[in-house]
Amino acid sequence: MVEGRNAVLELLKTQKTIEKIMLEKGAQGTLARIFAEARARGIRVQFVPREVLDRASSEKRHQGVIAYTTEFSYTELSEIGGGEESLIVLCDGIEDVHNLGSILRVAECAGADGVVIPKAKGASVTDAVIRISAGAAEHIPVAKVSSVNAAIEELKGRGYWVYALEAGGDSIYSAPLTGKVALVVGGEDSGVHRLTREKCDKILSIPLFGRVNSLNASVALGIAVYEVVRARLQK
């Protein structure tokens, strides 16, 4: 944690990865400037009552702001994938650290080239995520992008077929999953956002035969990435 107005302002001038900033509600002056600069960089900002900052502060001199950083090194999207048989996973609003950790583990085990996460409105790679991933986060590239939709457009321009994993689509078992494939998995509550679905080439669904109408995000992805593996092995 980095606490205090000047300390956080200096932190914003560096290239260090800032996971989120907690600001006291009603921020004005320097705190408002911190909010503006954080927003410009796509950093998640959470407005909280002062007593929340008091509890979180280790130094008890937070001055209305605490920033959380990580040493994890992200990769540029342009550096991920590119081979004739390539698999990339995009997370559209995955907020639960347990799901993100599991997604990284599943993607790495399936041989994916990388995972893409948004700078805002989603979990980042924290110590908890690295631990939950069973170390997979250290072995698979993760790109943090300003816009998942823009990332989809970039991947399509590079020859990828982009599929959203969502209910109401074609069965994943009938989809051609060889070549350059990108899979989009949605958030725990909202699924893949409408505008993001519209950017994708096709919506793929996993048939469900029980009474529960959805799968956990990381479980759904696990099924999907191994369908990609199966398609490649049978090619």
The per-residue pLDDT for 72 is: 78
Asked which of 51, 70, 89 is the last residue of a domain, the reply is: 70
Same-domain status, 36 and 97? no
Same-domain status, 183 and 147? yes
Looking at the DSSP bridge assignments, the partners of residue 142 are 115
Same-domain status, 183 and 109? yes
Q: For residue 221, what is the domain's CATH number?
A: 3.40.1280.10
- Please name which of 86, 85, 153, 84 lies closest in space to residue 115, comparing C-alpha atoms: 86
67 within 8 A of 21, measured Cβ to Cβ: yes
Same-domain status, 28 and 91? no
116 within 8 A of 94, measured Cβ to Cβ: no
Number of folded domains that form the chain: 2
Asked which of 22, 45, 70 is the last residue of a domain, the reply is: 70
Q: Is the dihedral angle over the CA atoms 100, 119, 110, 172 positive or is it negative?
A: positive
Consecutive 10-residue runs of the chain (235 residues): their mean pLDDT?
87 80 89 91 90 87 88 88 93 92 95 94 82 86 94 96 94 94 90 94 93 89 96 89
The per-residue pLDDT for 27 is: 79
Same-domain status, 102 and 204? yes
The per-residue pLDDT for 15 is: 67
Q: For residue 31, what is the domain's CATH number?
A: 3.30.1330.30
Same-domain status, 103 and 137? yes
Q: Which domain holds residue 41?
A: 2-70
Residues in the chain: 235
Residue 80 φ/ψ, nearest 5 degrees: -100, 135
CA distance 120 to 140: 21
The per-residue pLDDT for 43 is: 87
Same-domain status, 90 and 61? no
The model carries a pTM of 0.75
The per-residue pLDDT for 138 is: 82
CA distance 152 to 69: 27
Same-domain status, 133 and 170? yes
Asked which of 70, 95, 126 is the last residue of a domain, the reply is: 70
The per-residue pLDDT for 19 is: 82
**DSSP one-letter code for 187:** B
**DSSP one-letter code for 74:** P
- Please name which of 177, 182, 180, 151 lies closest in space to residue 164, comparing C-alpha atoms: 182
CA distance 72 to 136: 13
- Please name which of 4, 127, 126 lies closest in space to residue 59, comparing C-alpha atoms: 4
